[in-house]
Amino acid sequence: MKRNLLLLIAVAFIMTACNQNKNFNVNVSLANGNDKTVYLQKYVDNVPVTIDSAVIAEEKAVLTAPIDNPQILYALKIKGQRGSMPFFADNKDVAFVGDLNNPQAVEIMGSETQAELDAYNDQLDEINMQIRDLYAVMQQAFSDNDSIKMDSLNKVGTALMEQQDNFRDEYIKAHPESFVTHYILDGVKQDYPLDQLKDLMAGFTTESIYRDHLNDYVAKQERLEVGQPFIDFTLQTKDGEDVTLSEKIAQNKLTLVDFWASWCGPCRHENPVVKAAYEKYHELGFEVVGVSVDQDEAAWLKAVEEDELPWMQVRDSEDKVSEDYMIYYIPSNFLFDQNGTMIAKGLRGEDLEAKLAEILK
């Protein structure tokens, strides 16, 4: 009986030890944080999901997370405060130390990956601080209506932003083996022309979940290059009528798919340009399918009426079509010929008129 009891105790101890090895802790030590609820979040498909919470007592709290892919991004969120503090944990215990009255200065300790990212951000912040300081001076020059000074400051700002881009590119090229590099590039991938993005990725020497994100992005973008076929969709008009893109393309020589929204100033500014082109070339075989990304149906309908848009209007309220066409900003548009081949995209102002004149006249 004694032997069995000792065996049970030993098994219980081993199971406890195994369970401990399957978790890591986030130790919080924050002055002025008492009675605040703190949340530990894990990013799943770029969405933060809360996996643990605790109330800070005597300026301390401990949160626990199961060991997972070491490349996963986590975040510490304080209830009642805007934003969060993202971090990599390396599946090891991590500590947050600082003062909640100065969250920018809170240190994250225990993660080599986070230390690598912090070192990159510290260097980038030197340029960012110059840009922020310059912005304050530009605001004053704008208030003073000093156009000469504004022109000069704009040139300085452009140079600083180029310096920022160059620093990031050089860092990425110098650290192709680090998944932190992949993470950095994944966060700004929309800023790069596709060819330049692929060139930066070509130097990568290791795999990561962020490299997978980038590969997926590139594959989708290649489907949206000039010369590629359209991606079909069916959406409804305000009257509940189905509009299918493939049918409209087959019926017209040229079809423009135009993404916009009622709240988008540049879109509303561009609507008269599209309207003029529509009125001039519609009888020659030019059609427009306006795809609104408005969540507010009333605002969408009001904008259509105010801008007097004569072409068919549909609303992508669930963002499915916007995701397929990778709409990160609006206005965005795609021009397809009658075979369904994309012949141009991003046509604004005189460029739209010129392209239509080239083909339809």
Does residue 36 surpass a pLDDT of 80?
yes
Instruction: Determine contact, residues 142/152, Cβ cutoff 8 Å.
Output: no
pLDDT digits (tens, 9 = 90+) for 313-350: 999 989 999 999 999 899 999 999 999 999 999 999 89
Query: Which two tokens mark 187?
Result: 């966060």
The CA–CA distances, whole Å, from 258 to 230, 237, 270, 304, 331 equal: 13, 14, 10, 13, 7
- Which residues have CB under 8 Å from 39's CB, separation 6+? 50, 52, 53, 63, 76, 77, 78, 79
Domain positions in the chain: 2-110, 114-222, 234-360
Average pLDDT value for the chain: 90
Structure confidence at residue 294 as a pLDDT band (50, 70, 90): very high
CA distance 191 to 131: 18
Facing residues of 340 across strands? none
Task: Tell me the average pLDDT across 223-237.
Answer: 95
Residue 288: count of CB within 10 angstroms of its CB: 24
How many percent of the chain have pLDDT more than 90? 75
* E strands, the chain, in order: 23-31, 37-44, 47-55, 60-66, 73-78, 85-88, 94-99, 107-109, 234-236, 242-244, 254-260, 286-292, 312-315, 332-337, 342-345
- Which residues have CB under 8 Å from 147's CB, separation 6+? none
CA distance 281 to 82: 50
Does residue 117 surpass a pLDDT of 70?
yes
Instruction: Determine contact, residues 330/260, Cβ cutoff 8 Å.
Output: yes
Query: What is the end-to-end Cα distance of the chain in Å, rounded?
Result: 98
Q: Cα dihedral sign for 167, 169, 173, 179?
A: positive
CA distance 87 to 75: 6
Query: Which two tokens mark 125?
Result: 């912040």
- 234-360: which CATH architecture? 3-Layer(aba) Sandwich (3.40)
CA distance 267 to 289: 14
Task: Please give the pLDDT value at position 361.
Answer: 78
pLDDT digits (tens, 9 = 90+) for 172-200: 999 999 999 999 999 999 999 999 999 99
How many percent of the chain have pLDDT more than 70? 94
Does residue 5 surpass a pLDDT of 80?
no
In this chain, the answer to whether the domains covering 2-110 and 234-360 adopt an identical fold is no
Residue 305, classed as helix, strand or coil, is: helix
CA distance 53 to 40: 6
Instruction: Determine contact, residues 259/330, Cβ cutoff 8 Å.
Output: yes
Task: Please give the pLDDT value at position 135.
Answer: 85
CATH topology for 2-110 is: Immunoglobulin-like (2.60.40)
Structure confidence at residue 16 as a pLDDT band (50, 70, 90): very low
Residue 110: count of CB within 10 angstroms of its CB: 18
CA distance 15 to 2: 20
Query: Which two tokens mark 137?
Result: 């001076």
pTM assigned to the model: 0.76
Structure confidence at residue 251 as a pLDDT band (50, 70, 90): very high
Task: Please give the pLDDT value at position 4.
Answer: 52
Residue 123, classed as helix, strand or coil, is: helix
Task: Please give the pLDDT value at position 20.
Answer: 52
Instruction: Determine contact, residues 210/179, Cβ cutoff 8 Å.
Output: yes
CA distance 275 to 270: 9
Task: Tell me the average pLDDT across 101-124.
Answer: 92
